[in-house]
Amino acid sequence: MVSETANAPAIREALQLFARDKQRITEQQLQLCRVSAPTFFEQKRAEWVLAQFKALGAVARIDRAGNVIAHPVENRDGPYIALTAHLDTVLAPRNVEEVSIDPDGRLHGPGVSDNGAGLAALLAIARVIPMLDGYEELFRRLMFVANVGEEGEGNLSGMRYLCRQSSTGGKIQAFLILDGPNTDHITSQALASRRFDVTITGPGGHSWSDYGLANPVHALARAITMFSEQRLPGNGSPRSSYNFGIIEGGSSINSIPSQARAKVDIRSESAAKLEEISALLTTCVEKALEFENDRAIGGKVNAKIKEIGSRPGGRLPDDAPILQYVRAVDAHLGIRSHLDCASTDANIPLSMGLPAISIGAGGQGGGAHTPQEWFHPEGREFGLKRILLTLLLLLRDLDGRRPEVVRMAGNGSRNGG
């Protein structure tokens, strides 16, 4: 039972430490968030995190993809339970002062919530593990991962390498993924997505003397308009979405551009709908080209659509042990949570049929992926307790001592699931 695990003397002491250690954890989060780590440039933060693990006595290294892999107790054989958090951020601070802290402990700046909260929790859990005397054998099965390439065009590269290419990945039996702060959700369904780079080219020319030549910007604008006029079931079933996040083109106000470019993100809970929307993008681009070339008095525009990212979908069965364990822990702690569908590092293991969930690491946050991102540590200890207790249940299951938690997990009135 969860209560029996939580009331064991060593575990109870560790759980209490999370509240006492609140200021130290927040200060460490401030330090790590000041180490810039935009996608594809995570190396300095990876080295910083590696040093933290080694200072805690963990056996740690950086793999070929750039992921930090750490074991609290050395074990080359596995099997493992992986506790992970991604290193990279969408935006990067231009200087250390851009990541700041208020007197009440509130953090401001790029990545302080996503995923400063997850990384801080990863290190907080790693810090209490050596204090748990008598649990060494159990923690031989635990592996910490601070991975690269979760955001944007990183295309889950760190988790892809870990699961599909590294020799370590085949030894992982389940993934507990920490992403952001809020504890009100359990991501058990992977939201599939496809990302495209649409590039339209033409001859270019002078805005006056060459007026009438086919214009790539005009064609791209028309393609975006035609595509965005289509109605998608944003709040229906299956839910789908799209976003043109980047538009580029042209060199001066009085030059007909020779190139225009856009990047679009398409997501759907349905694989079939995802393919349908992706095909619609191609159709709209082709129609826009045809329209622009028909009206032009010279020159032609052409298009190239390149896929720059594809995240697979997947879903955890409702009766999966990992899901039962975290819901039982939520019931024990009084955390009200619900199952959701999102795009996270869990997409890769879920698509491979491996047990994985993504949860918040505790505290409160908002403004992710914007310059106004913030994090407040209030309530963080509940998230940390949730992580440690769920880990213990997973490790005991892996060790052949499956906890009896099904009855507690069924109490939907307490966990909101």
User: How does pLDDT run across 198-248, given as a tens digit for each residue?
Assistant: 999 999 999 999 999 999 999 999 999 999 998 775 556 789 999 999 999
| pLDDT at residue number 35 | 98
What stretch(es) of the chain map to CATH 3.40.630.10? 2-190+313-415
Q: Which fold has domain 2-190+313-415?
A: Aminopeptidase (3.40.630)
| pLDDT at residue number 407 | 35
How far apart CA 210 and CA 208 sit, in angstroms, is 6
| pLDDT at residue number 398 | 83
Radius of gyration of the chain from its Cα atoms, rounded to whole angstroms: 24
How far apart CA 32 and CA 44 sit, in angstroms, is 10
Q: Which two tokens stand for residue 346?
A: 């869990």
How far apart CA 274 and CA 238 sit, in angstroms, is 10
User: How does pLDDT run across 260-276, given as a tens digit for each residue?
Assistant: 999 999 999 999 999 99
Token pair 């159709």 is found at 283
Residue whose C-alpha is closest to residue 393's, from 341, 327, 334, 333: 327
H or E element, residue 332: helix 321-333
What stretch(es) of the chain map to CATH 3.30.70.360? 192-311
Chain centroid offset of residue 79 CA:
24
Buried b (16+ CB within 10 A) or exposed e, 136-166: eebbbbbbbbbbbbbbbebbbbbbbbbbeeb
Residues of the chain with confidence (pLDDT) below 70: 233-236, 400-417
Level-2 CATH architecture, domain 192-311: 2-Layer Sandwich (3.30)
Q: Which residues contact 400 (CB under 8 A, 6 or more apart)?
A: none
Q: Which residues contact 24 (CB under 8 A, 6 or more apart)?
A: none
